[in-house]
Amino acid sequence: MDGEHSLYPQRKTTYPEIGTPELRRQIGKELKSAREFQEMSLEQVMAYTKINVRFLENIEEGKWNFLPPTYVKAFIRAYSSAVGLQTDKLSNRLDELFQHVVVAAAVFKPYLSNDPDGEGAKFRSKGLMDWVEQNRALLFYGLIGVIAVILVSIYLMRHNESEIAGSDDADSVASTAAAPVISTEAPARRDSVAMNSVDTVAVRTMAMSFTFLDTCFVKIEHSDSILYERTHWPGNNMNFDTPYPIRLSLGNAPSARLSINGQQLPAFPGSRRVQVVNLGPGGIIG
């Protein structure tokens, strides 16, 4: 990793610090925690957001002065979307934090010129071309930032369109066969559901119900197909029918409360690490 970082050396900047170091590190820690729940590497986040790994590391470490605040804010939003942390609470925190950041305006520096009439020296402003020449680096990195924001926005728009198209395909399959049905009852926040098409001919199903007391990553697999994969937040509920047997992966498993066919299962013991179990109508298998 050090060899890769040498290709992108840190440069000295004059961009203002954003908020306090403690607040920046807190937000960076939340992003990193969500990424680890999703079992994603920084390289996978980079592939999703098209943001350089070095910048992603700086965001996690609270070092946010590598670009102007406008672009740093856009990068944080793209990062949070990639790891499933695009919440109203985080968005409001970012808006409040960045609205107090004031970027110093460029000032034209005067220069002295002898008065031909002998009345002394007078101040005169430099022309626009002189200012452009002095601020070439700032304009260059600003242009790069604008292009990066446009590319990230286009990518996210296309990604959302592909998710919507995938959801429509899943609905059409459900209308002709007994495909798994996903529903959310009074969630704290609305979560999008990524479903893969599953051959459901003559498949027996069981009813599952989740309640989440804390942040929890959920992944459900049947045969060779991933039926569901998402990070849930405290207060979320999830109810759906699924074929069985299934393979259930939970990050922070003790925070999840699970019922199968109306039967409440005991709370998952252990640590916050990812736990994997096989489930059927009678509960845990094996």
Q: Where are the beta strands (DSSP E) in the chain?
A: 110-114, 121-125, 181-183, 205-212, 216-222, 225-232, 237-243, 246-251, 256-260, 263-264, 275-280, 283-285
Which amino acid type is present at position 213? L
Q: Is the peptide bond before 243 cis (omega within 30 degrees of 0)?
A: no
**CATH of 2-103+135-158 among 1.10.150.120, 3.90.79.10, 1.10.260.40, 1.20.1050.10:** 1.10.260.40
Q: Where are the domains of the chain?
A: 2-103+135-158, 178-285
Q: Which of 250, 219, 254, 255 is nearest to 234 (CA)?
A: 255
Question: What is the DSSP pairing of strand 246-251 with strand 181-183?
Answer: unpaired
| pTM for this prediction | 0.33
What the block records as the tokens of 63 is 């070092």
Q: Is 86 exposed, middle or buried (0-12, 13-18, 19+ CB in 10 A)?
A: middle
Residues 200-213 have pLDDT tens digits of 445 689 999 999 98
List, for residues 144-178, the tens digit of each pLDDT value: 999 999 999 899 888 777 766 665 555 554 444 44
Walking along the chain (286 residues) 10 residues at a time, the average pLDDT comes out as 44 67 87 91 92 92 85 88 80 77 41 44 53 80 91 87 64 49 46 42 80 89 89 88 90 88 87 84 85
